[in-house]
Structure 1
Amino acid sequence: MSGAPKLQSLPEAAPPGALPQHVAIIMDGNRRWAEARGLPVALGHKAGAEAVRRTIQACAEQGIGWLTLFAFSSENWLRPPEEVTALTGLLRLYLRSEVATFAREGIRLRVIGDRARFGVETMREIDRAEAVTAGGTRLNVNVALSYGARDEILAAARAVAEAARAGTLDPASLDETAFAARLFTAGMPDPDLIIRTSGEQRLSNFLLWQAAYAEFVFQEVLWPDYGAEHLARALRDYGRRERRFGARPG
């Protein structure tokens, strides 16, 4: 039918042993790591920030092109106020301390999510970090902050509805590519591999649209203990799989 929406073409099946272009990680376990050691939760988050440094470096060394880290969900605002304050303070400190290293090593940093909820000071640090690292081509790092996939999809749907109402979009012409262009991840490849730490096995409202054909690896390690060896293990697991994107096996 001439007026039917076009479907996004799927990538060709990836051969076993291929390296993922885009790795996304649900960083889970900071609180449990701290509680197991009798430490304040804030120190668990601080140790988690060190794991972020190690993982970014490991991805750059492995030749990964894209890394998305789920750092703060839209639901995390419901945590105790003192924990939220500690998290946002750690975020600002991290941005200030790491931006020069990122720029020097060719790492581009971007934030996806509702950054406005963090306030003017944090937004200023985010904007500065994105601007300073904008020329990086070695590794693209996306940090999901105040992010929820359902909110993201709803916002994209509202944008489509507004465009249709304004007469700038024919709903019959809407396809997956046009819809994806209205998501926070517009212009980015979908994740090939999604890793979740701490033994939990759920998406928790993370990249629901983008994860349609992702491979999943669930690891028992708590996030503050994560390092290059854990990433390498996940990549080996991924490399043993043959991705067919819904096609029937040959």
Structure 2
Amino acid sequence: MKWFGLSRVRAVKEKIDWNSPTPKHIAIMMDGNGRWAKRRGLPRSAGHYAGMQTMRETINMCHRNGIDSLTLYAFSTENWKRPKDEVDYIISLVGEFVQDTNVQELNENNIRVFFIGDISRFPEETQEAMRKVVGLTYNNSGLKIFFAMNYGGRSDILQAARSMLETNKGKEITEEEFERFLYTGQNPCPDLLIRTSGEKRLSNFLLWQSAHTELWFTDEMWPDFSEELFYQSILDYQNRKKRA
């Protein structure tokens, strides 16, 4: 069965023309952890833990395939409405991700980490863990990972507008100037946005930045997101560009 799975991955990957345009910036809505766990009779925390393992595998896939940037919707502004024990567990995973072994792997792969969103609402120890991994990967020049934490597209646009008006009083407002004040800053907008779990909406994620982004959906829950699906999303993106 493992060999059959690998053969399917290889079959999809070989269809991709790596000399033609491929997405340089991929954004992912890692949706369905809780439902994945519920279907297996497991606590929702088990789904979030499994999702973190899939996230690490996906980061490595992006690194191996020369993706420039990866933005992950890790914790939305709406996630605070979930039960406190679930919120606390999701937040605790940040500290687990910043373990020395994970940071060592990031540095070995030349991966740089950023956090976007209003992180001031998180506990101080969580904020410190975020600052730690940002600092330890600061000099890396390979894949850039943007973890969207306490992030919402509307609040991003609102804070950018406030900052721009405060900084550029009396100056002309342009799209290019406005984008400098978004949490994503000078990073290019995503070429491809992937959402798992069968939902087909943006759910307040990168609303400004996704104006011209190709959207790709799968019914698979995030913990089941696979290498085959990763390559399928790139192949579909490339086929759309060829038809354009």
Report the TM-score when normalising by structure 1.
0.87
Structure 1 stretches lacking a partner, 5+ long? 1-15
Whole-angstrom CA distance in 2 between matches of 1:226 and 1:241: 22
Residue 94 in structure 1 maps to residue 97 in structure 2: yes
Q: Which amino acid counterpart does residue 68 of structure 1 have in structure 2?
A: T
- Distance apart, 1:17 and its partner CA: 4.0
Which residue is equivalent to 1:187? 186
Q: Matches of 2:64 and 2:104 in 1, distance apart?
A: 18
Query: Counterpart of 2:165?
Result: 161
Aligned residue pair count = 226
Whether 2:110 is the aligned partner of 1:111: answer no
CA contact (8 A) 2:54 2:223 kept: yes
Equivalent residue, structure 2, for 1:29: 32
For 1:163 and 1:243, how far apart are their aligned partners in 2?
42
Give 3-state SS (helix, strand or coil) of 2:164's partner: helix
Superposed displacement of residue 100, structure 1: 1.6
CA contact (8 A) 2:94 2:129 kept: no
Structure 2 spans left out of the alignment, 5+ residues: 1-18
CA 1:18–1:125: 2 relative to 1, 3 Å:
same
1:205 is aligned to: 204
Measured in 2, the distance between the counterparts of 1:24 and 1:17 equals 20
Separation of aligned partners in 2, 1:87 and 1:24? 20
Residue 176 (structure 2) aligns with: 177
- The equivalent of 1:146 in structure 2 is 150
Q: Structure 2 matches for 1:31-46, cutoff 5 A?
A: 31-46=34-49
Q: 1:243 Cα shift?
A: 7.7
Equivalent AA in structure 1 for residue 166 of structure 2: E
Structure 2 equivalent of residue 63 of structure 1: 66
**8 A Cα contact 1:108 1:136, kept in partner:** yes
Which residue identity lines up with residue 149 of structure 1 in the other structure?
Answer: G
Distance 2:164 2:53 in 1: 40
What letter matches 1:197 in structure 2?
A: T
Structure 1 Cα separation of the partners of residues 192 and 150 of structure 2? 22
RMSD in angstroms over aligned alpha carbons?
A: 1.7
1:161 CA displacement: 2.2
Deviations 1:215-242 (A, max 9, x none): 0100111000112211111000001012
Match 1:78 to one of 76, 81, 84: 81
Letter matched to residue 98 of structure 1: N
| Counterpart-to-counterpart distance in 2, 1:46 and 1:242 | 35
C-alpha contact (below 8 Å) 2:116/2:147 kept by paired residues: yes
Deviations 1:72-99 (A, max 9, x none): 0000011000000111111211122421
Give the Cα–Cα distance (whole angstroms) in 2 for the partners of residues 17 and 83 of structure 1: 43
> 1:79-128 deviations in whole A, cap 9, x for unaligned?
00000011111121112242121011101111101111112100101001
| Structure 1 CA distance for aligned equivalents of residues 186 and 92 of structure 2 | 30
Q: What secondary structure is seen at the aligned counterpart in 2 of 1:144?
A: strand
Q: Could you tell me the percent identity over the aligned residues? A: 42
Which structure shows the higher helix fraction? Answer: 2
Higher relative contact order (CA 8 A, sep 6+): 1
Extract structure 1 runs of 4+ deviating beyond 4 A: none
Q: CA deviation at 1:136?
A: 1.7
Separation in structure 2 between the aligned mates of residue 227 and residue 138 of structure 1, nearest angstrom: 23
Separation (CA, whole Å) in 2 of partners of 1:17 and 1:215: 16
Structure-1 residue corresponding to 2:140: 136
Q: 1:115 to 1:243 in 2, by over 3 A?
A: farther
Question: Equivalents in 2 of 1:243, 1:183: separation in Å?
Answer: 31
Contact 2:94 2:130 in 1 (8 A): no
Alpha-carbon distance in structure 2 between the residues aligned to 1:130 and 1:216 = 29
